[in-house]
Structure 1
C-alpha cells in the first residue's frame, strides 16, 4: 500500500484579470486501502485535483508525494513509469480501443509498459468481474456496464496501489452503477488497493470511507 499526500497544491490558468485558480492551496492525505470520494459542483476543481494527484497534469506549485517520493521531481519518463506501475485509471468514457478485443484491452497497459502479464491474476480478475464470456468480443459489442467492467479490469491489470476514477458511473443506469461500485469495493478489499473517485452521486459519496468536498479550488 502506498501513501498519497498533497501539500499546498496550486494550479493556475491565465494571468491578471483572466487568472483562474483551479486548485488554490490544497493540502490533504489519502488513506491507503480506503475509498475516498471527491465531490463538488462542476468547475470546482475536482478533476484538476485528481489529474494532478495522478501525475497526469503538472501543478503550478505544491507537492504530491507517493510515500516519500515527490511525483513532480521526476522527469517525464520516470513519471510515466511510476504511473504505469503504481496507478490505475478509470474514466467515464471507458476509453477502450475499438479495434482490439476485450482481453487485449485489459492487458494493454502491461504491454505498453513492457511488463509481463500475470495470466493467473488476469484470469482471476476477469472471473471476478464477470466478463469471462466477453473476452474475445470487441468493445462495440458490449453494453455500457460491460465496457465499464472491462475498463475496471484494465485499470487493475498492472496491480496498481492506487486507482483514480473520474465519474466512472456517470454513463450508467442505477442498477449497473450499484454493480460497478460493489465490484470496485470488492477489489479494494481483495487486492488491498486505494480508490480515489470523483462522483456527483450522493449515494456513492455517502458509501465512501472518506469524503473530500471541493469548492472554488479549495477543500471545504
Structure 2
C-alpha cells in the first residue's frame, strides 16, 4: 500500500487586498488502509485541500508525496496517469456518463487507460455493491443510491491506492446515506484501500478512523481513534 504525505500545502487566489488563502500551510500524513474524514464549515478550504492532495488542482506551493514521488514535480501527462492509476474518485453529483450503461461506467477508468478489465476483480466489485441486475441500465434509470453505488464501483475499478470522496452522500436522503456509507466503508476495508473523505456530516465523520478539522485553510484539530 502506497503512502501519501502532504507537506506545507498552500493554495492562494487573488493578490493584495483580494488575496484568499483557501489552504494555508497544511502538512499531514494520510494513513494507509484507513478512513480519514476532513470536516469544516463551508468555505473552510476542505474541498480545495482534497483537490490539491488528489492531483486535481495544483497548489500554489508545497508538496504531495505518493511514496517518494512529489506528484507536482511531474508533467501534466504523468500527473494524469497518477490520477488514473493510483487514485479513485467519488463525487457528490455522481458524475456518471449518461450515454454509458452501468457496466461501462464502472470500467471507464480502466478503458481510458487503454487496459483490459480484470473481469474477476470487476465482478467482485459489482457483487459487493449489489449491481448484478443493473449492469445494462443507464444512469437515468437508477435511483440516487444506485448511482452512487456505480460511482463507488467505478472508483475501485482501476485498483487505486487511495480513494477520494467529496461529500459523497450530499445528494442522498438519510436512509440512503447510511446504506451508502456502510457499503463504502466495507468495500474499502474488503479491498484494503485508503479512503479520504470530505464531509460536513459529523455523524459520518465520527465513523472514520481519523477526523481532521479545517478552519480558514488550516488544520485546527486532528483526532485519531
TM-score bucket of the superposed structures, by smaller chain: over 0.9
What secondary structure, in the 3-state scheme, does the structure 2 residue paired with 1:8 have? Answer: strand
2:93 corresponds to which residue? Answer: 93
Once residues 202 and 19 of structure 1 are traced to their aligned partners in structure 2, the CA distance between those partners, rounded to angstroms, is 30
Q: How does 1:79-90 map to 2 (within 5 A)?
A: 79-90=79-90
1:110 corresponds to which residue? Answer: 110
What secondary structure, in the 3-state scheme, does the structure 2 residue paired with 1:65 have? Answer: strand
Q: Which runs of 4+ in 1 moved over 2 A?
A: none
Once residues 99 and 115 of structure 2 are traced to their aligned partners in structure 1, the CA distance between those partners, rounded to angstroms, is 22
What secondary structure, in the 3-state scheme, does the structure 2 residue paired with 1:165 have? Answer: strand
Residues paired across the two proteins, number:
220
Once residues 182 and 23 of structure 2 are traced to their aligned partners in structure 1, the CA distance between those partners, rounded to angstroms, is 31
Q: Does 1:146 align with 2:146?
A: yes
Q: Does 1:174 align with 2:177?
A: no
Once residues 209 and 149 of structure 1 are traced to their aligned partners in structure 2, the CA distance between those partners, rounded to angstroms, is 22
Alignment RMSD, CA only? 0.6
Once residues 147 and 216 of structure 2 are traced to their aligned partners in structure 1, the CA distance between those partners, rounded to angstroms, is 33
Once residues 140 and 25 of structure 1 are traced to their aligned partners in structure 2, the CA distance between those partners, rounded to angstroms, is 42
| TM-score, reference length from structure 1 | 0.99
1:8 corresponds to which residue? Answer: 8
Once residues 50 and 38 of structure 2 are traced to their aligned partners in structure 1, the CA distance between those partners, rounded to angstroms, is 9
1:24 corresponds to which residue? Answer: 24
| TM-score, reference length from structure 2 | 0.97
Q: CA deviation at 1:187?
A: 1.6
* Uncovered stretches (5+) of structure 2, i.e. residues with no partner: 221-225
Q: Does 1:136 align with 2:139?
A: no
Q: Does 1:122 align with 2:122?
A: yes
Once residues 75 and 171 of structure 2 are traced to their aligned partners in structure 1, the CA distance between those partners, rounded to angstroms, is 35
Once residues 188 and 92 of structure 1 are traced to their aligned partners in structure 2, the CA distance between those partners, rounded to angstroms, is 18
Q: Deviations over 1:79-107 (max 9, x none)?
A: 11111011000000000010110000000
2:188 corresponds to which residue? Answer: 188
1:160 corresponds to which residue? Answer: 160
What secondary structure, in the 3-state scheme, does the structure 2 residue paired with 1:132 have? Answer: coil
